[in-house]
Amino acid sequence: MDLGELSHLLAWGATSAYAVALVAFAADLATLADHAAQRRRPAQERVGTFAGVSAGPGVVRPTTDRAAAGGADDARPLPRRAAAIAVSVTTVGLLLHTVSAVLRGLAAGRVPWANMYEFTLVGTLVAVATFLALVRRRDVRFLGTIVLGLTVVALGVALVGFYTPARGVEPALQSPWLVIHVSIATIATGLFTVAFAASTLQLLKDSREQGSSRLAGPRWRALEMLPSVRELEALSFRINAVAFVLWTFTIMAGAIWADHTWGRYWGWDPKEVWSFVVWVVFAAYLHARTTRGWGGRRAAWFVLVGYATVIFNFTVVNLLFQGLHAYSGVS
C-alpha cells in the first residue's frame, strides 16, 4: 500500500469517527432538551455563558471563559457525558484526518489542496480544527451537530464523488501561490462553516423565543440551553470577521497569482465572479449588522446566504461552469 492509499483509508477512518461523534453530539442535544424540560429555568443554566456578561454576586474578578461556562450558581452541573464522548471521538477523527492530509501531500509531492477532493479534505479539517479550538476556549459544543454534520456530508461526497489518486500538478499550478492562495481560501471556508452553524442556531433559537409554532415542539427544546441569541450573534460575527479578512486576502492573492500565470489580475472568470459575490454578500452582512432595522435576524440571513454562495462557488462553479479555474480533478 502506498502513501496515497493509506491517506485515502485514513480519510474514511476520520469520516467514520466524525459520524460517530455526530451521533454523540445529537445525543447531547437530546440530553440538553430533556434537562430543559425538567427544569425550566433556562436563563441560569445556559451553556457557554461568556465572561464579562455573567455576573456572580460580589466583586467579579476577571475569570477565564471556562470557569464561567456551566453556570457558577448551579450547584449540580449538568452531566454531559455524550458531549464529552463526542469531543473525544472528534479529536481522534481530527488526528486521523490530519495524518490523512499530510500523507496525501507526501504522496503527491506538493501541498494537499490542488483539486476538489483535497480542498474538501483540508477545508473540513480546518472546520473541525476551528471547532475544537473554540471548544478549548469556551463551551461551544452545541455547534458540534451542525459542524460535524456538514463535515461528514462534505467528506462523504468528496470520497465518493471527487476522489482522484494523488499526483503532481500541471504547470499553471506550480507556484508558491498555490500554498498561499488556496490554503487561506480553505481556512476561510472552514471558518465560514463554523460561523454558519452559529448563525443557524441563532435564527432557530430566535424563532423559538418569538413563539414560532414550528419550533415550539419538544424536539427543539435543546435550543433553550444554548447561549442567548445575542451571544450566538456575537460569536458568528467574530468568526465571520476573521473569515472575511481571510477571504479578502484570498481574492487578492488569487489576483496576484492570476497576474503571474494568465497575464491579468482580474478577468471575471466564473470562479472570480463568485468569489466576488461571496465577498460582496459578507460585506453587506457587516454593513447590515450596523444598520438599524437590519441587525439581528436579518444580518443572520446574510450569513446563511453568504455560506450558500461559498458552497456554490466550490461545487457548482468548479463542476459545471467553464473557466480557467478548472482544477477540480473530477472528470
Partner 1 sequence: MSERERRPDDHAAPFEAAASEAGTSQAGTSGPDGRPDRPVELPRLGVRGSLRWVWRQLTSMRVALLLLMLLAVVAVPGSVLPQRPVDPAAVAEYVRDNPTLGTWLDRLGFFDVYASVWFSAVYLLLFVSLIGCILPRTWAHLRSAGARPPRTPRRFDRFAVRDEAVVDAPAEDVVRAARTSLRGPLSVLPRFRVDTGEEPQGVRTVAAERGYLRETGNLLFHLALVGLLVSVAWGQLQHYRGQAIVVEGRGFANAVTDYDTFEAGTAFDPRSLVPFTMTLDRFTSEFTPDARAVDFTAEVTVREPGDDVRETTIRVNHPLRVGGAKVFLQGNGYAPEVVVEDAAGEVAFAGAVPFLPEDAVYTSRGVVKVPDVSAGDQIGLVGYLLPSAEITEAGARSVHPQPLDPVLVLTVWSGDLGLDDGIPQNVYQLDESGMDQVLDADGEPVTLVVRPGQTVDLPEGLGTLTWDGLPRFVALDLRHDPSLPWVLASSVAALLGLAVSLFTPRRRVWLRVVPSDDGRTVVRAAALARSDDLGLAAELERTMTAVRALGEVPDARATGGHAQTADDVPESAPLGKA
Binding segment toward partner 1, per CB under 8 A, in 15-23, 153-161, 171-179, 193-201: 171-179
CA 6 – CA 105 distance, rounded (Å):
12
Q: What φ, ψ does residue 78 adopt, rounded to 5°?
A: -70, 125
Among 38, 213, 290, 331, binds partner 1 (CB under 8 A): 290
Cβ distance to partner 1 smaller for residue 12 or 177: 177
**In the set 283, 304, 311, 326, which binds partner 1 (CB under 8 A)?**
283
Distance (Å, whole) CA 170 – CA 187:
23
**249 is a site residue for partner 1 (CB under 8 A):** yes
Return the number of the residue (102 or 284) whose C-beta is nearest partner 1.
284
Q: How far apart are the first and last CA of the chain?
A: 25
Closer to partner 1 at the Cβ: 213 or 331?
Answer: 331
**303-322 residues near partner 1, rule: CB under 8 A:** 309, 317, 321
Shortest reach from residue 48's CB to partner 1, in Å: 12
Burial (0-12, 13-18, 19+ Cβ within 10 Å), 294: middle
Q: How far apart are CA 123 and CA 112, in angstroms?
A: 11
Here the cell at position 281 is 454578500
Q: For partner 1, which stretch binds (CB under 8 A), given 8-16, 109-117, 152-160, 245-253?
A: 245-253
Q: Which residues have CB under 8 Å from 250's CB, separation 6+?
A: 181, 184, 185, 188, 275
Q: Which of 256, 311, 326, 330 binds partner 1 (CB under 8 A)?
A: 256
How many Cα atoms are found within 13 Å in the side-chain-facing hemisphere of 205? 25
Count of residues interacting with partner 1 (CB under 8 A): 72
Residue 301 touching partner 1 (CB under 8 A): no
| Candidates 3-11, 33-41, 55-63, 189-197; binding stretch for partner 1 (CB under 8 A) | 55-63
Instruction: Calculate the CA dihedral of residues 20, 24, 29, 32 and round it to 10 degrees.
Output: 180
Burial of 12 (0-12, 13-18, 19+ CB in 10 A): middle
Which range touches partner 1 (CB under 8 A), out of 1-9, 10-18, 145-153, 294-302?
Answer: 294-302
Q: Considering only CA atoms, which of 129, 137, 130 is closest in space to residue 48?
A: 137
Q: Which window, 50-58, 90-98, 109-117, 147-155, contacts partner 1 (CB under 8 A)? A: 50-58
Q: Is 175 in the site for partner 1 (CB under 8 A)?
A: yes
Which of 57, 160, 213, 331 binds partner 1 (CB under 8 A)? It is 57
Q: Which span sits near partner 1 by CB under 8 A: 27-35, 126-134, 214-222, 284-292?
A: 284-292
Contact letters for partner 1, residues 177-206 (x by CB under 8 A):
------------------------------
Cα dihedral 104, 136, 85, 152, rounded to 10, equals -40
